[in-house]
Amino acid sequence: MKKKFFVLTMMAMALSLSICAQSGDKQSVLWSYCDDGAIGEGVDAETPLSYEAVIFIPAEEMAPYEGKQITEIRAGLTGAATNLYPIISTKYGTNEISQDGVNGKSGWNKIKLDQPYTIGKSDLYVGYGCTGGPVIGFSEVFHPNGNMLSVGNHNWLDYAANGCCALNIRMKIEGTDLPFDVRLLSINKQKTTPGGDLTFKGSAMAMSPVQVKNFEVELSIDGKVVTTQTISSNSYLTNGSVSSFALTAKAPEEVREYTANVRVSAVNGQPDGVPANSSLDADLVVCDETYPRTVLVEEGTGCWCGWCVGGIVGVNYMNTLYPDQFVCIAVHSDDQMDVHENYGPIFSFFPKFPSAVVNRDSEYMIYPDQQELQTAYTKLNKSAIATLSADALVADDDFSYIVVKSSTHFAIDSDHEYRLAYVVVEDEVGPYLQTNYYAGGRNGAMGGFEKKSGQVVMTYDHVARGIYDSYYGVKGSVPAHITKGEEYSYTYKLNLPNNIQDKKNVKVVVLLINQMTGEIINAKRCTPVKDTSVSTLVPDACGDPMYYDLNGRQMSTPADGFQIIRHADGSASKVLVR
C-alpha cells in the first residue's frame, strides 16, 4: 500500500512540474502569431523572386520578455528556397542580423542565430528573407501584426491590414521565469435583437513555457463585465496549440451599436503574463430592423493572369442574375489598368490571382467563381444596418468632374466612425490581350473561354480607375454621432482621373465603410446623368493638398520616402520626399 501511495505521489509531482514554471529554471517558448497547423498556400510567382517576410511585435508585448534571448527563427515555406536568412530589427525595413543564408525546404525550417539576440525595450520586426517561387507560407490564423511582406525588393507591405492571415513565422525565446501566456487570436462580431442570445466564438493560442490546463476568459460590453468563464481542455495545451471557445450572454435591450471586449484574464489559475495580447474588441449590433444589402465584391485580376478568366465568367454570371444587388469592382494589378497608386491596400486581400473579397470582410476572401460568389451573395445580401442611396450628376456630356449626392439612414444609434468612399469604374476598357489558361479545353470548360486561344483580345468591364478621397473614405462624410432613423446627406465633387478612355462608360460606386471593422456596410452603383445645376451644388476644389502613404493611410505632414499627394483639384501624384 505504501508503495502504491509513493508511486501516485511521484506521478502527481511530475504532473505538477509539467504545468507549473519553476523559478530559476531555464525555459523556452516558440513565440508566433500563427497556429500549429499545416502551412498554408504561398504567394504566387511566375519566376523566382526575392522575398522578405516579417511580423511586427509592439514593445508592450515584448516587455515581459525583456532581457531574454531570441536564439532561433523558424520559417514555414511552401516550397524550396535559397539564401534563407533571419531578420530581426527594431526599425522598419532594416535587418540587424548579419549571417549567411541557407537552403530552405517545404515545411518548417529552423534558422539558428550565430549570436543570440537580447530583447530590449523597443518594437521588433522578426522574420526571414529568401529567394524562390511561391514559397511564403500563410497560416489560418489572423493577427493585425502578423503579415508584412516584400516581394521583389519592394517596401514591406502590410498584408494583415486588410485581412490576410499571419505568416508562418516563429521565434524561439529562451530565459528564466518566462511568463504564463494565452494569446487571444480571434473573436467574431455579433448582430442580434434586443435582449437576444449572444454567442461570441473565439480562439486562443497557448504561448506558455508550461502546459496549459485551463484559462479564464472575460466578456465585457461597453466596459461592463457581463460574464467570466473558465475554459478547460481534455488534454493540456502545449506551446503553439490552439483552443476554441464560446462565450454566451444576453444582449442589451437598447437598440444601438456596442463594443464587446473579450480578455484572457488567467492561465492555470495565475494572471495572464502578457496582457498586451490577451484582449480583442468585436462589433456588437443590437437592432430591431434591417435593410436590403447590396453585395460588393472587389476582385484582384490582371491581363497576365491566365486563371483570371474564371473570375470574369463568375462576375458576369452574378451581374446577369442580380443586376441591382450585386456590384463588382475589378482591381487590376501589373497591367495597363493597374491601380496600385491609390487602391493599394486592397491587394493585401489577394494572396494570389484571381482572388476576391466580399464587403471587405476577411471571412469572405474567396475564389471568384460562380459557386463561391453565389454562396457569399446568398449569405450577405439580406441584412444591412443602414441604407445608402446616391445620384451621380454631371454638367454636360464633356464632363471633367462628377458631383455625387448621397444619403444614409441607420437602423441603430452609434458613436462608431463611418465614412463614404467613391470609386470611379469604367466599362469597355481596352482592347487588351488576356492570357487564357483554359484555351483548347486543357483545364476544362470556362464560360466559352475553353473555345478561345491562349491570348484573347477583349475589353474589360467594372475596371477600377480610382477611389476617393482614399481607400478608407472621406472623413466627416457621415456624422460622428448617428441617431437611429435620421437621414444624413452628403455631397462630394470628384475630378475624373486621367486614365479614363471613354467618359460615357464611367460609373461611380459609393461605399459605406465601418472604420472600426473596415467592413463595407452597403454600396450603391450609379450612372452619371446630366444636370446643369451641379456647378452650384459644391464649391470648386480649394485648399491644401493631402498626403498618403503607399498603403493609402492619410498623413498629417509629408514624411521621407515615397508617398501619394492628392491635390485640391482631385488629381494625385506619387513623389519621393527626402
What single string gives the DSSP state of each residue in 331-353?
A: EE-SSTTB-HHHHGGGGGG-SSS
All three cell numbers of 194: 434586443
Task: Output the pLDDT for position 339.
Answer: 93
- C-alpha to C-alpha distance for 173 and 31, rounded to whole angstroms: 7
User: Which set of grid coordinates corresponds to residue 325?
Assistant: 444587388
3-state SS of 220-255 is EECCEEEEEEEEEEEEEECCCCEEEEEEEEECCCCC
Give CA separation, 387 vs 115, 155, 360, 482, 510, in Å: 59, 39, 18, 13, 12
3-state helix, strand, coil in the chain (%, to 5): 15, 45, 40
Amino acid at 319: N
The pLDDT assigned to 292 comes to 92
DSSP state of 121: S
Residues 6+ apart with CB under 8 A from 553: 470, 472
Q: Residue 431, preceding bond cis, omega within 30 degrees? A: yes
pLDDT (0 to 100) of residue 46: 53
Instruction: Using alpha carbons, select from 318, 301, 220, 232 the residue that is nearest to residue 269.
Output: 232
Neighbours of 511 (CB within 10 A): 26
What's the one-letter identity of residue 358? V
d(CA 527, CA 506): 7
Q: Rounded to an integer, what distance in angstroms lies between the CA atom of residue 295 and that of residue 375?
A: 12
Residue with cell 506558455: 208
The x, y and z cell numbers of residue 309, run together, are 478568366
Number of Cβ within 10 Å of residue 509's Cβ equals 24
- Do the Cβ atoms of 240 and 23 come closer than 8 Å? no
How would you write 314-332 as a 3-class SS string? HHHHHHHHCCCCEEEEEEE
Beta bridge partners of 518: none
pLDDT of residue 34: 86
Q: How far apart are CA 382 and CA 376, in angstroms?
A: 11
pTM exceeds 0.85: no
Cell numbers representing residue 24 in the block: 530559476
Tell whether omega for the bond before 354 is within 30 degrees of 0, i.e. cis.
yes
Low-confidence ranges of the chain (pLDDT < 50): 1-21, 539-543, 568-578
Give the integer Cα–Cα distance in Å for 494 and 100. Answer: 52
233/215 Cα distance (integer angstroms) = 9
Model confidence pLDDT, tens digit, residues 215-263: 999 999 999 999 999 998 777 888 888 889 999 999 999 999 999 999 9
Q: What is the pLDDT of residue 565?
A: 58
Measured in whole angstroms, how far is the alpha carbon of residue 162 from the centre of its chain? 2
Closest CA relative to residue 415, chosen from 258, 202, 254, 192 = 258
Instruction: Indicate the pairing of strand 529-530 with strand 386-394.
Output: parallel
